[in-house]
Amino acid sequence: MATVWMKVTWYGYRMKDVPTLSVGEKIFADKMFFTQGLLYNPVLGLVKWSIIVFLMRLEDRRKIIKWTLWGLLVFNLAHMVSVFLAVVFQCSPVHMYWNHHKTDEVVDGQIVNDNYSCIDQASFSLSTAAIAVLTDVAILLVPIAMMWKLRMPLRRKLAVIFVLSLGWVVAIVGIIRINFFVDFWYGRFPDPSWSLWHTLSGVENNVAIMVSCGPALKAGIVRFFPRLFGTSKGSQATGNAYLTRGDHELNSRSHVNKKAPDPSGIHLGKGESTETIIRNLSLGESGERASGSENGKMPG
């Protein structure tokens, strides 16, 4: 949609080189722009939803983490739905968002049209963009809090945090996008067609999709190219992660080890468990062990 809109409006050319568009071309361009607005927030919302659900799979038992994730999940859903409806009904009647070109009149250099009304699009776009960036930051702080006290080699811990925090790239793009929007809406662009402002929405969406796939991509790379991340003999890292008293608990869903947990700590078991997820995300060496012995018990 963005590419079609750019082609129709000659976006990327200097205004002096852009030919005068016909009414039909303006209507078509506004339909494309309207469709982009409908898609932009749902795409970001669904990407954030998938990241939050992934973090929930780690099953951190601390109430503050649990309720933070649920709060972010509900708020993200509410924001996604409300913004979608606001985009749909931003003009009344809806079709005048693009059909206003048929009835616009120019009086003293100003466009006058009493057939419709629209919300303040500058305030709307800036406020929704700011909320989106704030939710990005809130979601990205959660994995840092979840992983920081996990007992594992610092190198692996930082690797896990890095993979789970790739979304900072999206937050940075969102902040840059807000800055461009301020310049656009408040007339700071000397030539609004000769800029990057419109491309940033598409960039933000696509970067969000890519970085949200980071954990899965890392696991796949280690599986098929184990030597790329320092594992030996074609095997994955097999280090186990442990939590000591005073550290938070991550609940393992594995039923392989049915023994009662050692009172001095929690051993995250093997199989489809939290330990598996963490191990697949981290950059370990074959046979590496975090603190602890072979039988899964904590040292004294």
How do residues 9-60 score in pLDDT, each as one tens digit? 998 888 888 898 899 999 999 999 999 889 988 998 999 999 899 888 887 7
The Cβ of residue 71 has, within 10 Å, a number of other Cβ atoms equal to 12
pLDDT at residue 282, rounded to an integer:
52
Q: Would the pLDDT of 71 be above 90?
A: yes
How do residues 171-225 score in pLDDT, each as one tens digit? 888 888 888 888 877 777 778 788 777 788 888 888 888 888 877 776 777 777 7
Q: Would the pLDDT of 239 be above 60?
A: no
Report H helices in the chain. 2-9, 23-57, 63-88, 96-99, 121-147, 154-164, 168-185, 199-212, 214-224, 274-281
The Cβ of residue 16 has, within 10 Å, a number of other Cβ atoms equal to 8
- C-alpha torsion 194→200→202→205, nearest 10: 180
pLDDT at residue 267, rounded to an integer:
38
pLDDT at residue 245, rounded to an integer:
41
Q: What's the pTM?
A: 0.69
The Cβ of residue 25 has, within 10 Å, a number of other Cβ atoms equal to 15
Q: Would the pLDDT of 274 be above 70?
A: no
- C-alpha torsion 13→18→22→25, nearest 10: 0
Domain boundaries, the chain: 2-100+116-219, 225-281
**Closest C-alpha to 143, from 290, 296, 281:** 281
**Closest C-alpha to 262, from 253, 279, 249, 277:** 249
DSSP annotation of 102: G
